Amino acid sequence: MDDLRETTLSRIEAATDEAELEEVRLAAIGKKGEVSLAMRQLGGMSPEERKEAGPRLNALKDEITAAIAAKKAALEDAALEARLAEEWLDVTLPARAAFRDHTQGSVHPVSQVWEECTAIFADMGFAVAEGPQVESDWYNFDALNIPGHHPSRAEMDTFYMARADGDDRPPHVLRTHTSPVQIRSMQAQGAPLRIICPGRVYRADYDQTHTPMFHQIEGLAIDRDISMANLKWVLEEFFTAYFGRSVKTRFRASHFPFTEPSAEVDIQCSFEGGTVKVGEGDDWLEVLGSGMVHPKVLRAGGIDPDEWQGFAFGMGIDRIAMLKYGIPDLRAFFDSDLRWLRHYGFSGLQVPTLRGGV
Ligand code: DAH
């Protein structure tokens, strides 16, 4: 038994990794190990022999178990030491160029696409208009021919601004779309008019394709004989410039209270291989709502519908950013995760694409 003790303890001492240690453990105190076999023979011994051998075997088993545990801890310490030695960081070293560059930050995809859209529409003669994000419910709804009982007020999951008791000013909301800027621009500038309005909008909604804040770009063109044909040309021109290739569009009859007739616009795409590719294939993807501005809406904006007419459209900026730059989850746009921004962000010097690929 002394021999067994000697060899086992020295093998434990000599072990260089956990696998070796496990081998020694099995050979000594595993089910078929030598100590275990010896213990099984106790039954066949005389009581005197057993009295002497039993405690010795138990003590040996305990000693081996303890030696293995100690060696295991020592091996783990050594591994940690080695890792620390290898991965240590000298915080006094000057930053490498790649890290220095990151301190300059990067342009968020939404800002980039916002700029790209503005540049493309500016090229077609559209000026940028703005409006408040806290909007009266008249501008957000009534003026757009969405009366109080209209279901789309409920559908839009509106955030209402809290009001103090006794405050009887008209209710205000976080604007649910950029369309109220149509009314504000008509009132401020009258006809003729050609504006776009990129901006933040808000709805109480949250899942993989919805965030409580997102971005839209509104378009409005008013003149004496603007038609759906002009709308179609402007949008096709826009998509071709934006995606850098010719993109077919499909106009699908739809309904919006502020346009008549109304159309939803789909762009040509393919869904092969689990990714969406715009401008090829036989599938269609909905990207915006549009139509001819409703006479009531023109009137709300102070424009005579007997003299003027126009088209309007509203499109999701985040949506077309995801499509162009292959970004899968909308929620990540607003997580402020630096690794995401480094991956999808743009350098400040990347100029928006202009028409004709200039
Ligand atoms: N305001 C609509 C929305 O948020 C989008 C829209 C549809 C805007 C049709 C328009 C339009 O200007 O003509 O869902």
pLDDT at 102: 55
CB atoms near residue 106 (< 10 Å):
19
pLDDT in tens, 288-325: 999 999 999 999 999 999 999 999 999 999 999 998 98
* Distances from the Cα of 12 to the Cα of 60, 212, 322, angstroms: 14, 62, 59
pLDDT in tens, 213-271: 999 999 999 999 999 999 999 999 999 999 999 989 999 999 999 999 999 999 998 88
CB atoms near residue 267 (< 10 Å):
23
pLDDT in tens, 149-202: 887 777 678 999 988 888 888 889 999 999 999 999 999 999 999 999 999 999
**Does the beta carbon of 289 lie inside 6 Å of ligand 1?**
yes
Nearest by Cα to 219 from 138, 289, 153, 287: 289
- Please tell me whether the overall predicted TM-score, pTM, comes out greater than 0.75 for this model: no
201 CA closest ligand 1 atom index: 4
Q: How far apart are the first and last CA of the chain?
A: 88
CA separation for the pair 115, 121 (Å, rounded): 10
**Does the beta carbon of 333 lie inside 6 Å of ligand 1?**
no
159 and 203 in contact (C-beta within 8 Å)? Answer: yes
Nearest CA to ligand 1 atom 2: 314
C-alpha 14, offset from chain centre: 53
Residue whose entry in the numeric block shows the structure tokens 């007419």: 309
**Does the beta carbon of 218 lie inside 6 Å of ligand 1?**
yes
219 CA closest ligand 1 atom index: 12
